[in-house]
Amino acid sequence: MEKQQAREKIAELAEVLNQYNYEYHVLDNPSVPDAEYDEKMQELRNLEEAFPDLVTSESPTQRVGGEPLDAFQKIQHKVPMLSLGNAFSADDLRDFARRARQGTDDDITYVCELKIDGLAVSLMYEDGKFVQGATRGDGTTGEDITSNLRTIRSIPLSIKDNETIEVRGEAFMPHQSFLKLNEEREKHEAEPFANPRNAAAGSLRQLDPKIAASRNLDIFLYGVGEWESGQLTSHSERLEYLQELGFKTNPEWRKYETIDEVIEYVEYWENERPNLSYEIDGIVIKVDNLEQQDELGFTAKSPRWAIAYKFPAEEAITTLRGIELSVGRTGVITPTAVLDSVKVAGTTVKRASLHNEDLIREKDIRLGDTVVIKKAGDIIPEVVRAVKDKRTGDEKEFFMPDECPDCGSELVRLEEEVALRCINPSCPAQLKEGLIHFVSRDAMNIDGLGEKVIIQLFREKLIHTIADIYRLQRDDLLNLERMGDKSVSNLLGAIENSKANSLERLLFGLGIRFIGSKAARTLAANFETMKNLQQAAFDDILAIDEIGEKMADSIVRYFEEAEVKELIDELTALGVNMEYNGPKTEDIAVDSVFSGKTVVLTGKMESFTRKEAKEAIEQQGGTVTGSVSKKTDIVIAGEDAGSKLEKAQKLGVTVWNEEQLSEVLDW
């Protein structure tokens, strides 16, 4: 291909890919399948490799991050990025409205926007091209983080009009990206980020832009800084124009004529914020008319025409009224604080975690204490500390009991453990939790036999042990509340079908200490039958890769119990499969394409879940990991594959689609 032809083709591909990117990341409405996007992206990369002097800064290929920086350069904001004054109540908002009305003669209209909990940034476009991005900094001086901001796919590298304009917004990390990031950090024994805001800020202040590129950040644009040609008359018009230019704005903004409507909007989002896919910490209220904004002007620190309503803190103060104890499946006794109702992060909290007795002692938490509780996102609330200077002398020290609160058996503390444990195998609480675990999706996967049904059956004394599940009779079930003919037929069918499950599901369902689903599969594949595993010596089990001493010791001890031997015999007599149905260990080594390979699953699968794919790959000798590296052998990419697919392509890792995986697995 001649250079002029290449130039034209590169420009054509860049235009098409930028449009696809806009549809996907800004409009959330992709017009083409990922495969078509990937094909055009690869074509563009090939052309740019052949003609490197034709690569432009706004090319879609330039988002992965350039070379690491030595330091960030300082940038002066031509129009200061001032902070906003705060409101904490409806009265504060009414005061804001009163002051605004006093400062202008005309009626006021307000614009309300969600206050995104992220990092404020400015983006500079010259003749429609993104040329520079900076942090807010102290409001007058920020840092040049252009290379990091270019990795955010919802930031257009070029806009629809050849505008020279500075726009402002909030870069943030969506919940899903935050959870994935912390999972990866924990895998590598790195300290997890405390919240999405810290994670976003830390990502954008990395000197290596490739790190920011891997973090899946997003942005909402909400304002304009320097803009000489701007002719609009209201903030709401600016928001609409930003969207027309190709910027991503938050769709939840609203325009109101009264402060009471504003307050209703605030109250609505105070309750609804947990349902968002990103963090917000308040609502920003602005006078809509730009002339009125100029009339109202600024204080030394903030504009008089805008205010930020801040949601209640993530921490709250309440009173500890009692401590309830629960017994888990493995007998661990867990204390839970019973509190006076208090609102935290938009939800009402009546209970909070106390973790264990040692923590209660360490924090010196007493019954009747005034305590601080904390809730971050969807995380279970926990008691942070006691407010000791509010003690009256009536508070009482809490002591864990000597006996199990459910069965009365003596509690013990095993060596090197902080938790107290009930070791009575007939403890009703443990039996119920064990039954719930046995029928769960990762274990025997008995559809229709959820936690509520298990508790109902246990309460009616229809089941006591795992084996009782397979003895359930139609007439007994029909007598239960909310059990009709069809639901009973479906449940009995699901129970019958579960008998054919491969051995690893049964092993995991039995709840052997330290044996998770992956270890259960490894054991099943190596020993092939329950009988072989029951008879295995400690050294035989320890000889298996990925099985450690604690696990081997736990298995041997488990199968030495007379009650366990009796249970296995009962299940065998009831027709429950005791053999491994997956590929044999020796067959995997010879025949499987996945044997000894490291595989990464990314994106959405249509024909099966990623969990099902993971199990199948591991059954065939593969190892499924969460991140792409030079050691990765195969990446299987579904829809919305994102940064993992890009990294795989960059590293030259083999990439399969869902159809190729289905063919290999014969699904």
What SS3 class is residue 604? strand
b/e per residue 81-103 (b: at least 16 CB within 10 A)? bbebeebeebeebeebbeebeee
The answer to whether 65 and 210 have CB atoms below 8 angstroms apart is yes
Token pair recorded at residue 130: 């993104």
The amino acid present at 56, given as its one-letter code, is: T
| Per-residue b or e along 620-640, where b marks 16 or more CB atoms closer than 10 Å to that residue's CB | bbbbbeebbeeebebbbbbbe
Phi, psi angles (nearest 5°) of residue 335: -85, 140
Contact 640, 603 (CB under 8 A): yes
Residue among 463, 425, 475, 470 nearest 444 (CA): 470
Active site residue 461: no
**Continuous H helices in 28-174:** 34-50, 90-102, 146-149
Query: Is residue 129 classed as helix, strand or coil in its secondary structure?
Result: strand
Considering Cα of 660, then 664, then 665, then 667, what sign does the dihedral take?
A: positive
How far apart CA 512 and CA 528 sit, in angstroms, is: 17
Which of 3, 9, 115, 550 is an active site residue?
Answer: 115
636: phi then psi, degrees, rounded to nearest 5: -105, 115
Strand partners, 318: 371
| Closest of 559, 590, 577 to residue 504, by C-alpha | 577
Closest CA to 87 of 110, 119, 107, 121: 110
Q: Give the count of beta carbons closer than 10 Å to the beta carbon of residue 457.
A: 21
- Asked if 598 and 623 count as a contact pair (C-beta separation under 8 A), the reply is yes
How far is residue 462 from each of residues 457, 459, 566, 588, measured CA to CA in Å? Answer: 5, 8, 19, 42
Q: Rounded to whole angstroms, what are the CA distances from 623 to 222, 634, 635, 645, 663?
A: 44, 10, 12, 18, 19
Residue 453: closest CA among 490, 423, 424, 408: 490
Q: Is 482 left (phi over 0), alpha (psi -120 to 50) or beta?
A: left
* 243: Cβ contacts below 8 Å, ≥ 6 apart: 249
Cα–Cα distance measured from residue 332 to residue 551, given in angstroms and rounded to the nearest whole number: 18
Complete DSSP assignment for 336-358 = EEEEEEEEETTEEEEEEE---HH
What are the residue numbers of the active site? 115
